[in-house]
Amino acid sequence: MPDLLPCVESLRLVDHHCHGVVRRDLDRNEFESMLTEADAPPAGVTLFDSQIGFAVRRWCAPVLDLPAHTRAEDYLARRADLGADEVNRRFLQAAGASALCLDTGFGAGSVLPPAEMGALAGAKAYEIVRLEQVAEQVAVSGTGAEGFADAFRTRLDGLTTGAVGLKSIAAYRVGLALPGERPGDPEVTAAAGRWLASIEKGAPPRLADVTLQSFLVWCGVDRGLPIQFHVGYGDSDVDLHRCDPLLLTDLLRALAPTGTPVMLLHNYPYHRQAGYLAQVFPDVYVDVGLAIHNVGNRARALVAETLELAPFGKFLFSSDAFGLAELYHLGSLLFRHGLSDFLRSGLDDGAWTEHDADRIAHLVGVENAHRVYRLADR
Amino acid sequence: MPDLLPCVESLRLVDHHCHGVVRRDLDRNEFESMLTEADAPPAGVTLFDSQIGFAVRRWCAPVLDLPAHTRAEDYLARRADLGADEVNRRFLQAAGASALCLDTGFGAGSVLPPAEMGALAGAKAYEIVRLEQVAEQVAVSGTGAEGFADAFRTRLDGLTTGAVGLKSIAAYRVGLALPGERPGDPEVTAAAGRWLASIEKGAPPRLADVTLQSFLVWCGVDRGLPIQFHVGYGDSDVDLHRCDPLLLTDLLRALAPTGTPVMLLHNYPYHRQAGYLAQVFPDVYVDVGLAIHNVGNRARALVAETLELAPFGKFLFSSDAFGLAELYHLGSLLFRHGLSDFLRSGLDDGAWTEHDADRIAHLVGVENAHRVYRLADR
Amino acid sequence: MPDLLPCVESLRLVDHHCHGVVRRDLDRNEFESMLTEADAPPAGVTLFDSQIGFAVRRWCAPVLDLPAHTRAEDYLARRADLGADEVNRRFLQAAGASALCLDTGFGAGSVLPPAEMGALAGAKAYEIVRLEQVAEQVAVSGTGAEGFADAFRTRLDGLTTGAVGLKSIAAYRVGLALPGERPGDPEVTAAAGRWLASIEKGAPPRLADVTLQSFLVWCGVDRGLPIQFHVGYGDSDVDLHRCDPLLLTDLLRALAPTGTPVMLLHNYPYHRQAGYLAQVFPDVYVDVGLAIHNVGNRARALVAETLELAPFGKFLFSSDAFGLAELYHLGSLLFRHGLSDFLRSGLDDGAWTEHDADRIAHLVGVENAHRVYRLADR
């Protein structure tokens, strides 16, 4: 790959959506299973033979003092020798982030909490609270249907005193075709009643209800925090065709008067659609996290396609790294390459000046997140 | 950007879908609001920091005697100094068009009419009549439901004696999943009755009815003119996921025996889907207008993707410029760059000869529109 | 185009999805109608002026001893002079395949059978049995509704003793939103009853029923063979928006425990979506056949986009050539160029080593098909 533009290489990125890394050592199966969104492939296929697998061998091996393109076996052996603490420290440092906005709603217990993540990375750590997790805690707390709405609001207020944002995983549970109106109290109570009854009958407290997930989003609006939405690419649990960001159009129109920042995460392969929404709706922002580190040397295509319509003041960096510290490093590095190639292509074409390229890099990598999440106020 | 191929630079383009420009001077807010499909962005974000904003500073500033990459403030000050008439004249001349097919159905009164547009541009001006506007005029003319169909046909005949084409904005009103059969008279009368009744009760005369909009299209077929469809990309009023051109498939099958040219406009981000339709349906044509000037130096990607399947005899140029004269210049210039890069890439690969590249350029930029709209007969 | 990497040029490809070529000579109309998925274009438009048309003049002309870029008329005259036998032999040899997996369910009678295809190509020929064709044979065989399921299973067993795979064209008949559960016997019998009754009333025996086509797929699972699905791009009979591979998600989840290889064919313009499925579902494989030869020098884009997420052990070559022997040559040659460009781009970037590039080329072009279809066992 060509060298990074200095204005991109020197960025102390804000990673506006990421997760903790696992503390313990991992065997090859565990490593491969955390490397991508895949279930275990059949005999004869390895995920090391894919864009992300090659990115690990090429970009991560040197961080562990191995030559680029080291064989997978040797890489994993060296990883085990160094131990998870040292591996985590090296990759989090290599990511070069100044701030992490950590979604604490998944894998708590098995991954490092924000304070430890920040210390390892040498970055400020902020919390993003997952709406569904709060609702599921309320559901098993003994609240009845009538009291559910208030109990949720109270718990959300309590859990978000220090948070900088919220997250909805409606995409995973009911898809993104959320309604264009705020659900009324009777609807919420009725839906809560059905859900709580199913839990009493032994169902796990897993929220998957359009009315309630819509209600959660509107409570987030009242809370006055930016709301992240999982969009597009995820694991095989997702119905990807129900996760096109355009399905959010009715909700986005309804949210527009509130001025709530809506953060569309991942978006692949609907990132052009997301870029369109970021252009036409004043408070919609986009990233291509998760996809970036999966697509390896194609990161440049994703950045360029998203920025066809998305204003540069609406595009952010996230790694969406989870579990493997390598993903922090790859997410950051491949994003830098994608952004650098995009800016360099514009410089070569005469589309913008070096001064402007510097400014865009800083907007995308740092300033947009600072402004939207009001990080300076924290 | 690389120099234009001479065969592309010298094209006197036919702009087969465009609108009038505004006559009066504009302040910064008005300028930004007409620059893209966006509602006003929040504090801290400017549309000048996006592909189209950079394209204005780079390509439009020199037309106003400013250096490329002039700051937005200086650009707007110079624009105000010169005044709207001179600005309009310069950009319309710079576009280098030989003919304009002007959609007169939107913004009439605030934008220049075809004759003035043609005079400013040094081009022949033709009219495209918007079907919904004709229907809405009929609806407020006092016709009853029984007489609606005939009144529409009569008015359409009257308004299109000099027109070269028609346009449907079903995409904006009901989406593109129009039925595969021509609606029968009783259906049309019943739908007209519902619509007229709603107007009598005070609703604005805004047509948004699948049956009636389908009826309009079939009246257009009877009229024997090419029919343009808004497809894909538009402002936040559009439900973009209902504007995939593939949703027209049933209608396209029904229209096929009539031989009516169907012109799919814009199409982004569904331009590959549109290219497919242009390949498999004999009378379907495509462009990537509106998107071209919005995506700046990515125009080449859109042209190349659309022409993966679309035959070169089915691809046309349009700017879809509206209001700002800059959009005429950018639409033309960025289309030329996209087409030139596409042709040059094929020349570099040995995919076609220079003779063929010349021929393709002329087909796409001029001949296809002449043939489909029978401009020589006018 | 740049030269092919030697590791790609030397591949003896396995074409895992293709059809017979026509034995007889063709006039220009017949040739154009078999060249693409298009119905005949109107006057003034020729399919020679499209990516695939230029690919014929550039790449096929030399195989018939003509200079590259020969005019279409001269090409067709030379083709007629040589005669279909010689033309077929030259192009099939030029394709450089070691094995062909031939779908025998379409055009039998008018195209060469597998044994002749293999002999002409100098390749081993294997058979893929089309599920719908077997069902349609059963439907006209006199079986009643009660006996339909068993009769189908028996006939399928009989017809597939030598086959290496099966094919579903549910995409063409009912779209890909097949249910996530295996249909029960009463449902199958009821659906068969409706179908057989319609045939008795004179309808052609054309299967287009979600329950029955789902039943066919599950019979294929029981048969223990890989199942190919037509996905995405096809002719104007297809409702392309019902052929997004993501619509198969429920079925893929249901099939996962069986370990049945699911082969997603064509996929364009949903090839990124198909790549996602190939990443997250262990037994899902993808190709971009049919599209590759249609898009000409854009083949590289399709390969690169598909391999953003698809593991290299899950991506295969197919030509989907039908009728015209040219399509065998173009499918092979343009795939080689696309794959070579992809691998070279990674080499230039340092994404992988030459050793790895060699290995990937062999996986994609040969090994994946050998492993999935167990060709060595035949």
| Residue C88 within a domain | no
Return left, alpha or beta for A289; rule: phi > 0 is left, psi -120 to 50 is alpha, else beta. beta
Question: Which of B246, B282, B350 lies nearest to residue C240, judging by beta carbons?
Answer: B246
Whole-angstrom Cα distance, residue B244 to residue A208?
29
Q: What is the CATH number of the domain that holds C342?
A: 3.20.20.140
CA B102: distance to chain centroid? 9
Scanning every residue of chain A, which has its alpha carbon at the shortest distance from the alpha carbon of B296? Answer: A308
Q: Are B73 and B106 within one domain?
A: no
DSSP one-letter code for A38: P
- Average pLDDT of the residues of chain B: 96
pLDDT of A1: 67
Reduced 3-state DSSP string for chain C: CCCCCHHHHCCCEEEEEECCEECCCCCHHHHHHHHCCCCCCCCCCCCCCCHHHHHHHHHHHHHHCCCCCCCHHHHHHHHHHHCHHHHHHHHHHHHCEEEEEEECCCCECCECCHHHHHHHHCCEEEEEEEHHHHHHHHHCCCCCHHHHHHHHHHHHHHHCCCEEEEEECHHHHCCCCCCCCCCCHHHHHHHHHHHHHHHHCCCCCCCCCHHHHHHHHHHHHHHCCCEEEEECCCCCCCCHHHCCHHHHHHHHHHHHHHCCCEEEEECCCCHHHHHHHHHHCCCEEECCCCHHHHCHHHHHHHHHHHCCCCCHHHECCCCCCCECHHHHHHHHHHHHHHHHHHHHHHHHHCCCCHHHHHHHHHHHHHHHHHHHCCHHHC
Nearest CB neighbour to C311, from listed A45, A58, A295: A45
Point out the residue among C55, C240, C301 whose CB comes nearest to the CB of B249. C240
Residues B173 and B196 in one domain: yes
Query: How close C51 gets to chain B, by Cα (Å)?
Result: 6
Residues A114 and A156 reside in one and the same domain: yes
Q: Are residues A214 and A65 in the same domain?
A: no
Q: How confident is the model at residue B378 (pLDDT cuts 50, 70, 90)?
A: confident
Answer yes or no: is pLDDT of C1 > 70. Answer: no
Task: Give pLDDT tens digits for A108-134.
Answer: 888 999 999 999 999 999 999 999 999
What pLDDT digit, counting tens, does each position of C321-376 carry? 999 999 999 999 999 999 999 999 999 999 999 999 999 999 999 999 999 999 98
Is pLDDT of C293 > 80?
yes
A202 in the same domain as A57: no
In this structure, what is the dihedral angle of CA atoms C2, C6, C7, C10, given to the nearest 10 degrees? 110
B269 interaction partners in chain A (CB closer than 8 Å) = 272-273, 276
The per-residue pLDDT for B1 is: 67
Q: From chain A, pick out residues whose CB is under 8 angstroms from the CB of C301.
A: none
CB atoms within 10 A of CB C203: 10
Chain B residues near residue C1 by CB distance under 8 angstroms: 349-351
B211 and B108, same structural domain?
yes
User: What tokens were used for C217?
Assistant: 């797929």
Q: Let me know: does A252 contact A219? Beta carbons within 8 Å.
A: no
Interface probe, candidates A176, A252, A262, A280, chain B, greatest B C-beta count within 10 A: A280
Residue C107 covered by a domain: yes
In a domain, A201, yes or no: yes
Are A302 and A345 members of one domain?
Answer: yes
In a domain, A88, yes or no: no
Q: Of the candidates B1, B42, B241, which has its C-beta nearest A282's C-beta?
A: B42
C37 or B82, which is more confident?
Answer: B82
SS3 category, B13: strand
CA–CA gap between residue C347 and residue C359 (Å, rounded): 13
Q: Is residue B90 part of a domain?
A: no
Q: Which helix (H) or strand (E) holds A14?
A: strand A13-18
Domain count, chain C: 2
Match 């018939």 to its residue by tokens.
C64
pLDDT at B39 (0 to 100):
81
- Residues in C closer than 8 angstroms to B283, CB to CB, are 42
Q: Are residues C64 and C158 in the same domain?
A: no
**Which bin fits B342, alpha (ψ -120 to 50), beta or left (φ > 0)?**
alpha
Are both B246 and B106 inside the same structural domain? yes
A239 to C247: CB separation less than 8 angstroms, yes or no:
no
State the CB neighbour count (10 A cutoff) for residue C54: 21
From chain A, the residues in CB contact with B49 under 8 A are 311-313, 359-360, 363
Owning domain of residue B254: 6-18+96-377
Asked if residue C278 lies in contact with residue C309, where contact means CB atoms within 8 angstroms, the answer is: yes
**Neighbour-count burial of A318, counting CB atoms closer than 10 A to its CB (0-12 exposed, 13-18 middle, 19+ buried):** buried
CB A23 within 8 A of CB A84: yes
Chain C nearest CA to B162, separation (Å): 24
For the stretch C175-234, pLDDT in tens is 999 999 999 999 999 999 999 999 999 999 999 999 999 999 999 999 999 999 999 999
The pTM of the full predicted model, rounded to 2 decimals, is 0.98
pLDDT grade for C109, boundaries at 50, 70 and 90: confident
Co-location of A233 and A249 in the same domain: yes
Show pLDDT as tens, one digit a residue, over chain A (378 residues): 679 999 999 999 999 999 999 999 999 989 998 998 888 888 889 999 999 999 999 999 999 999 999 999 999 999 999 999 999 999 999 999 999 999 999 888 889 999 999 999 999 999 999 999 999 999 999 999 999 999 999 999 999 999 999 999 999 999 999 999 999 999 999 999 999 999 999 999 999 999 999 999 999 999 999 999 999 999 999 999 999 999 999 999 999 999 999 999 999 999 999 999 999 999 999 999 999 999 999 999 999 999 999 999 999 999 999 999 999 999 999 999 999 999 999 999 999 999 999 999 999 999 999 999 999 887
Look at the alpha carbons of B249, B285, C300, A272 in this order and tell me if their dihedral is positive or negative: negative
Q: Are residues B70 and B108 in the same domain?
A: no
Length of chain B: 378
Q: What is the CA radius of gyration of chain C?
A: 21
Nearest CA among C376, C264, C306, C351 for reference residue A44: C376
* Cross-chain residue pair C244–A241, CB shorter than 8 Å: yes
Nearest-CA residue of chain B relative to A357? B49
Residues C68, C209, single domain; the answer is no
**Chain C nearest CA to B353, separation (Å):** 7
Nearest CB to A280 within list B39, B68, B241: B39
| The predicted structure's pLDDT at residue C2 | 73
**In contact, C172 and C232? CB cutoff 8 Å:** no
| The pLDDT of residue C299 | 96
The pLDDT score that the predictor gives to residue C39 is: 81
Chain-chain contact of C51 with B256 (C-beta, under 8 angstroms): no
For residue B249, is pLDDT > 70?
A: yes
ipTM greater than 0.90: yes
A301/C360 Cβ within 8 A? no
Position B331 in a domain? yes
Q: Note whether B350 contacts C241, CB cutoff 8 Å.
A: no
